Structure 1
């Protein structure tokens, strides 16, 4: 089966990292590639004689295509120059793809909270799995880390992570975090036995998820870890040295993610490694 991949390019360092990741993936996966650049609505293009020259967007597409073709001469690569709102056009391109690959500079916390970032906006609405590659990325043989919860929203993420770990021949680590019930029933004087019961239950849940994936992928080495508190902090810490971090998206969109402080938002804000954001089963763009 040929994997359809769309790569967003703009000629910047983060875009170069996305192209480099794609070239590395093409060593092991049969791909069909579309390179997409978007001319924003507020950008003024050259007029008159200058209009006959290549725009920076066309130059970025041509450079990326030449780089990919040099590494993989037989790989089919298309280019697409779009006009419109950047994140809307990239999301539209994702709807006919299996993977959307986009580069990212690590954003500052202030920029992320006030203005959001392109990867956050795109990952919140994309119609396929979004791969966010940090600027300066280099290939790694580190393990695959996946964030898991017991509410069913991360099952697809777990499957994707397992397939990637098998392909890379590396260990899969399943990370789960528990926290006190939101009802406020947990107080400093809560008996230790109650806390231990919560911990034991969550440990059994993540162990069961790891065992299920081990049975489905017997060739895969699987480990699991349980943490208390923030799931995003647990994932980021576990991702030290990882080659890929996989998280599920609840499909709330970028703005809601910022307000709710979702795991996807927090992990993308910190970018411990390449991050794969797996959309929920129902495509989120339909409810936009």
Structure 2
């Protein structure tokens, strides 16, 4: 199967009981219903060693943590059913830190879904390092569910995809077409091709010598997918600008932004590029980050 197809695995959503994680649960439940997938709700928790000692926690401490994990999972399952009554739900509460637990889940998941912020405490589900780490190391796409500045949920608008010709952006195109088709919304394909951090090379690019090549690249990347998804209306955008600025601005009216984890401008060895990081921290709609799936069997 091609990169645009989805795996047989569940939609996995991490929860810590925060309102942001409830946003993620509602979003993931709707996605699971559209894709006819099981929704797997995961609450990872770790029982720490006794403070100032090497002694293991008492059985009572384990019971407290376990009871809290069960309560959070029960509340999350209830929220998922309120959002999508027919969705199939399963739960898991691995005794592990959030990042390794969710990365392990990604090996058999269709997607990992995270809230934009977390409740803190022992759960460790704050956006910052956790979302970046999971997005960097997951073996499936990861979506960070974000709201608009006014607090509203991003439920309408087109799907936006960033394209730069890199292998992982090709996989992002496939996923974006699938998501636009499932939602019944247009797709906006953006090729913003000023990769320079400063404007020292702007005069060279403004000569227009590269614009025709960039338009041709965009047309080539979209051609096969437009044939496969004739129901999806596509708007093509080729613009001399930094990708993060274009995508962040367009996220204001989008239902979803899809990007590769690291594009043509990334430094060797980086697992998550600056554009992807800027989006998962500042976009005004959910952000779906697609990683190059080396070593994972195509489905």
TM exceeding 0.5: yes
Deviation at 1:97, TM superposition (A): 0.6
Does residue 161 of structure 2 align to residue 146 of structure 1? yes
Write the deviation string for residues 35-81 of structure 1: whole angstroms up to 9, x where unpaired: 11111354879856675555332211111112324554553322111
Specify the SS of the correspondent of 1:28: helix
User: Aligned Cα RMSD in Å?
Assistant: 3.3
Does residue 29 of structure 2 align to residue 23 of structure 1? yes
Distance 2:106 2:230 in 1: 32
- Residues 5 and 130 (structure 1), Cα distance of their counterparts in 2 relative to 1, 3 Å cut: same
Distance 1:225 1:97 in 2: 32
**In structure 2, what is the equivalent of residue 8 of structure 1?**
14
CA contact (8 A) 1:180 1:186 kept: no
Of 137, 149, 152, 1:125 maps to 137
CA contact (8 A) 1:41 1:85 kept: no
Distance 2:195 2:86 in 1: 54
Distance 1:88 1:228 in 2: 39
- Residues 48 and 122 (structure 1), Cα distance of their counterparts in 2 relative to 1, 3 Å cut: closer
**In structure 1, what is the equivalent of residue 179 of structure 2?**
164
- Residues 204 and 48 (structure 1), Cα distance of their counterparts in 2 relative to 1, 3 Å cut: closer
Of 212, 215, 229, 1:217 maps to 229
Please say which of residues 269-278 and 36-45 is displaced more in the overlay.
Answer: 36-45
Deviation at 1:19, TM superposition (A): 0.7
* Shift >6 Å, 4+ stretches: 43-46
Specify the SS of the correspondent of 1:83: coil
Instruction: Please list, as runs of the form range in 1=range in 2, the aligned pairs for 1:192-231 lying within 5 A after superposition.
Output: 195-231=207-243
Q: TM-score, normalized by length of structure 2? A: 0.78
Specify the SS of the correspondent of 2:252: coil
Does residue 71 of structure 2 align to residue 63 of structure 1? no
**In structure 1, what is the equivalent of residue 41 of structure 2?**
35
Query: Gapped runs of 5+ residues in structure 2?
Result: 1-6, 51-55, 119-126
Instruction: Give the aligned length.
Output: 269
Deviation at 1:134, TM superposition (A): 1.9
Distance 1:25 1:143 in 2: 16
Query: Gapped runs of 5+ residues in structure 1?
Result: 107-114
CA contact (8 A) 1:9 1:15 kept: yes
**In structure 1, what is the equivalent of residue 253 of structure 2?**
241
Deviation at 1:181, TM superposition (A): 7.9
Distance 1:207 1:116 in 2: 36
**In structure 2, what is the equivalent of residue 110 of structure 1?**
none
- Residues 197 and 124 (structure 1), Cα distance of their counterparts in 2 relative to 1, 3 Å cut: same
Deviation at 1:196, TM superposition (A): 1.0
CA contact (8 A) 2:13 2:41 kept: yes
Write the deviation string for residues 122-178 of structure 1: whole angstroms up to 9, x where unpaired: 100011111111266635121000001123321111011001111111100001111
- Residues 137 and 282 (structure 1), Cα distance of their counterparts in 2 relative to 1, 3 Å cut: farther
- Residues 70 and 47 (structure 1), Cα distance of their counterparts in 2 relative to 1, 3 Å cut: farther
